[in-house]
Amino acid sequence: GDSVTQMEGPVTLSEEAFLTINCTYTATGYPSLFWYVQYPGEGLQLLLKATKADDKGSNKGFEATYRKETTSFHLEKGSVQVSDSAVYFCALSGGSGGSNYKLTFGKGTLLTVNP
Amino acid sequence: GAVVSQHPSWVICKSGTSVKIECRSLDFQATTMFWYRQFPKQSLMLMATSNEGSKATYEQGVEKDKFLINHASLTLSTLTVTSAHPEDSSFYICIPGGRAEGGYTFGSGTRLTVV
């Protein structure tokens, strides 16, 4: 079945540091890839997505590129802010070609940014 | 578009009682609804898939007699936690199916605490 592996946290950075959160996946077919963010006490929000190989998703300074050759979708941001502190989830859908495209999530990475 | 309303957003109940969680699609018809739960500091795990007008499909290890899912219409899916126990305390969230490329709009989630 489909699976998503993302780097274990927690990740603690100082403000303005560079962020990378690694994510690799296993899937048959051609999945769509997503990064979701969960701020403390809130539900999940879509951060960015990519639907085919070499696509780059971007939003709020975050970027991730769909790399089919390495089955990866690493999340990056050049300069993090305290307000970026949250849990980040990598996810995929549509990989197994099943109907209705259920989401498969990674375990999540807690990011804490200190001032 | 693709607005999902889930309520209650939080609920505290006594052990042994039942709790119903509703998930409504406000501006589209959801043939399929995925129900996930998230234990503290863990990822979202798929519990079951509900399809309008038919029986839900449960993931391995999820008790179908305990977590009753009803999807009687294209705009409403419900999850009832029967005879809740403290170990059922979790964050439950609904996600409509069939939107691989567009990303997903989540319900806001329901935080259930069983005391």
A15 to chain B, closest Cα gap in Å? 24
pLDDT band, very low/low/confident/very high, at A15 (cuts 50, 70, 90): very high
Contact by Cβ (8 Å): B96, B30: yes
B97 contacts A101? CB cut-off 8 A: yes
Contact by Cβ (8 Å): A90, A73: yes
Q: Assess B109–A contact: CB distance below 8 Å, yes or no.
A: yes
Q: Assess B5–A contact: CB distance below 8 Å, yes or no.
A: no
Contact by Cβ (8 Å): B8, B21: yes
Q: What are B57's strand-pairing partners?
A: B49
Nearest CA in chain B to A100: B98
B104 contacts A46? CB cut-off 8 A: yes
For B42, which of A31, A43, A107 is closest by C-beta distance? A107
Instruction: Give me the phi and psi of B88, to 5 degrees please.
Output: -85, -5
pLDDT exceeds 90 at position A61: yes
Three-state secondary structure string covering A67-85: ECCCCECCEEECCCCHHHC
Q: Assess B104–A contact: CB distance below 8 Å, yes or no.
A: yes
pLDDT in tens, A68-115: 999 999 999 999 999 999 999 999 987 655 555 788 899 999 999 999
B93 contacts A100? CB cut-off 8 A: no
Pick the range with the lowest mean pLDDT from A63-67, B27-31, B62-66.
Answer: B27-31
- Judge if the upstream peptide bond of residue B8 is cis by omega within 30 degrees of 0: yes
- Judge if the upstream peptide bond of residue A31 is cis by omega within 30 degrees of 0: no
Q: Assess A30–B contact: CB distance below 8 Å, yes or no.
A: no
Rounded Cα–Cα distance for residues A35 and B90 (Å): 22
Rounded Cα–Cα distance for residues B34 and B30 (Å): 10
Contact by Cβ (8 Å): A108, A87: yes
3-class DSSP assignment, residue B87: helix
